[in-house]
Chain A
């Protein structure tokens, strides 16, 4: 259903850009056999998301009238290639820059420097008005289903929202189809978010994300606020939808054990940099970097705990990853 030409296109320049990128895409898919795993850095022409040396600096509020606030680098040169149809994970601790990275991919934030390509189009320099194609292609699901759903809107209006925003038709049949595709019944449409549990609310935000029929689903900690049992339900739903609709998934989480069940490939981020990238099982089972090793070592596991692994053992494993004391705001 997604037809890039159907999106409201800005005239001249952008249009020619589109044609160009479509051409290079076609060439790419012919020449590439889809071996995405090996290409940690670049060179995979079939990639749907491509980041080259992406940097993002934030300026903290000034503390004195005479001096500008300090500059904090949130991303320090991230280079990534995500293949079409891939389930890609980004893990790291709070403050490592993973959400900033996701917002940049979604066009909700701009890099300070570097290149960001989505479906062959450079988006880092585009003005808001020219990002229409992104809103079509890509949808975002956030962590806290309560704060990301407007409490005063009925579920049907929440789900239709992205379509309304893009001036697209949103017939009731489509909305019913969407709400049913996430395992809720049509009578949920007339209710308000607070009448649902956390897991049901996350289903509603997934239904909303699917409304414009995107090719790419970005998820920022989508199950972190959920209970264990509901978490498994929502993960099942995400996996099922990604497979059924053949979506590309970018899944951000602080929890490597969850990413492991969802993603084929994972990038580990620390302090604004990708420190390790590879097939998820490999990164999890044989982490190459000390930082990744400490992340894995700090996860409390039922089985190893029953075998006698204590909190002191977890802490010892985690010790290597603790943020140095001069950067207290980050951990």
Chain B
């Protein structure tokens, strides 16, 4: 499988504070990879760094390569990045309004995305292609929707429009950052379906960020678990979610299951995610981990055949034989 996206030793820093460190990942053609972790783990910063969209004051280190583009995206100029975005790689955020222009009709926004990257020569052709695309993502009465302004659509419909725009130019890579977190379950189901179908039809690579493990299990084949700005475990979804090795992963699984202990309480991970810069040295999960020993005070090394499979835990959860 050819890797569409390859990041090596990716880091995000502000001043001398490291927010994301040593992230190595690949996403292959047609592959769907989840990135999970609690709020403040560094998921969004990782996504923004991959897209070259880090806000002012933050900078990336390491390397990010997109298949077929010779230059390293880390350190590339906006001139080099802009033509890639929206065409080779695109992104869907949690809040659809961040991606939509409130004063422009939906159809024109979709068409503009296509024209910009010359998928269509003529405006009229782009316009009818836009309506087709809106139909594709399941908007009721697409021709009417094309004439509407964003505020005239519901949140779920807006998110479908954003997904349509993101898929409009058949990108090789789609990055989604919590695209359905603000939606009702039924609407979420439709948007997830639309994203997975859209990606499959284009044989595109998908990197999907969420803290809902049920969503990851539904959408993805592989998963990366992030905590404290580091990947702490990675592997096939079926493997990681049934036989987690890192203590953070197993805690996350228990908490998201809303499983009960014998005294009727729900299982939780004790404490909360520290502020950036306040994670302990060594294993970043050390101050919340019941299994921590002094051995965890040094940064655990990666145990596994490759960066896509393995964990960084000194005392991993035993795997039942």
Contacts and interface: CB of A to CB of B under 8 A. Distances in A.
A241 to B, nearest CB: 13
Interface string A308-331: 011110110110011101001111
A199 B193 contact: no
B211 interface: yes
Interface residues of B, number: 50
A85 B123 CA distance: 64
A258 interface: yes
Contacts of A239: 265
B313 to A, nearest CB: 17
Contact of A228 (B186, B187, B256): B256
A325 B140 contact: yes
A318 B186 contact: yes
Given A229-B38, A298-B188, A315 B140 contact: no
A331 B184 contact: yes
Contact of B257 (A302, A322, A325, A330): A302
A328 B215 contact: no
B257 A227 contact: no
Contact of B185 (A229, A299, A311): A299
Nearest to B274: A197
B186 A328 contact: no
Interface in B155-200: 155-157, 184-190, 192-193, 195-197
B97 to A, nearest CB: 15
Interface string A134-171: 00000000000000000000000000000000000000
Contact of A261 (B190, B215, B258): B258
A93 B253 CA distance: 26
B241 A302 contact: yes
A261 B155 CA distance: 27
A279 B39 CA distance: 33
Interface in A272-331: 294-295, 298-302, 305-306, 309-312, 314-315, 317-318, 321-323, 325, 328-331
B257 A200 contact: no
Contacts of A230: 38-39, 268, 272
Contact of B190 (A93, A310, A322): A322
Interface in B245-275: 251-253, 255-258, 260, 265-269, 272-273
| Chain A contact residues, majority secondary structure | helix
B237 interface: yes
B197 A312 contact: yes
Given A298-B189, A325-B140, A330-B154, A311 B218 contact: yes
Contacts of B268: 229-230, 232-233, 236
A295 B186 contact: yes
B210 to A, nearest CB: 10
B140 A228 contact: no
Nearest to A199: B272
B101 interface: no
Given A317-B189, A331-B184, A306 B251 contact: no
A299 B193 CA distance: 13
Given A232-B267, A306-B242, A328-B154, A322 B258 contact: no
A314 B269 contact: no
Contacts of A301: 214, 217
A328 B152 CA distance: 8
A289 B266 CA distance: 29
Contacts of A257: 258
A29 interface: no
Nearest to B180: A300
A315 B193 contact: yes
Interface in A233-289: 233, 235-236, 239-240, 254-258, 261
A112 interface: no
A169 B109 CA distance: 58
B67 interface: no
Interface in B127-143: 140-141
Contacts of B212: 228, 300
A229 B255 contact: yes
A158 to B, nearest CB: 19
A257 B213 CA distance: 14
B189 A232 contact: no
A311 B193 contact: yes
B258 A311 contact: no
B219 interface: yes
Contacts of B155: 94, 331
22 contacts: A93-B186, A94-B155, A228-B255, A229-B255, A229-B268, A229-B269, A232-B266, A232-B268, A239-B265, A261-B260, A294-B186, A298-B186, A299-B185, A300-B218, A301-B217, A302-B256, A310-B196, A311-B192, A321-B186, A330-B154, A331-B156, A331-B184
Closest 4 A-B residue pairs measured CB to CB? A305-B217, A325-B140, A315-B193, A300-B214
Given A93-B184, A261-B266, A318-B186, 8 more contacts: A229-B256, A230-B39, A232-B267, A254-B184, A301-B217, A302-B256, A318-B189, A318-B190
